[in-house]
Structure 1
Amino acid sequence: MKYFACFLSMKDEEKSQKYRPQHLDFLKKMRHEKKVLMNGRFTDGAGGLIIYRANHLDEAIQYAKEDPYIQVGAREFEIHEWELVSEYNFD
């Protein structure tokens, strides 16, 4: 399993507020399915970060495209494979 850092940059603050509950439900479902390792917002309002768990980049991109924020145009995304380095085992 590989990890992918997905930056969700703010595109439309009004849509982000409106669709926040759907976005949070999506993240909860993805964490339950072990497709999201962690996520959080940037405190400066610039957007947020999601760490996806996927077999390859195309799979992670597909996950990002399923996010309600992306589907309604509230956020844009940029995604990169990410190498996790930690003393903790998250698996």
Structure 2
Amino acid sequence: MKHFVVFLPMLDEAKSAAYRPEHLAYLEAQRGQGRIFASGRFTDGAGGMVVYKAESLEEATAWAENDPYVLHGARRYEIHEWDMVQ
């Protein structure tokens, strides 16, 4: 299993506020399926980050693209495979 960090930079604060409940429900569903290692917002208001556990970049990208924040233009996403060192 690989880790993929998805940065979700803010595009539209109003849309972000409007779609926050939908975004959080989406993450909870992903978490319930064991797909999320960690997630959270940046305290400076710049956006947030999700670390997905996936078999491939394509799989993690599909999950990122289906996030309500991304679907509704509240946030864009940037994804990177993360070589986590413990």
- Match of 1:12? 12
- Structure 2 residues not aligned, in runs of 5+: none
The one-letter amino acid paired with 1:18 is A
State the TM-score, normalized to the length of structure 2. Answer: 0.97
Bigger-Rg structure (1/2)? 1
- Give, in angstroms, the shift of residue 84 of structure 1: 1.7
- Distance in 2 separating the partners of 1:78 and 1:2: 16
Q: Spell out structure 1 runs of 4+ moving beyond 4 A.
A: none
Matches within 5 A, 1:1-91: 1-86=1-86
- Structure 1 residues not aligned, in runs of 5+: 87-91
The one-letter amino acid paired with 1:76 is R
Q: Deviations over 1:26-52 (max 9, x none)?
A: 000101101111100000000001001
The one-letter amino acid paired with 1:2 is K
Partner of 1:75, secondary structure, is: coil
- Distance in 2 separating the partners of 1:60 and 1:25: 18
Number of aligned pairs?
A: 86
- Distance in 1 separating the partners of 2:28 and 2:41: 15
Q: Deviations over 1:7-66 (max 9, x none)?
A: 000000000000000000000010110111110000000000100111010111000011
State the TM-score, normalized to the length of structure 1. Answer: 0.92
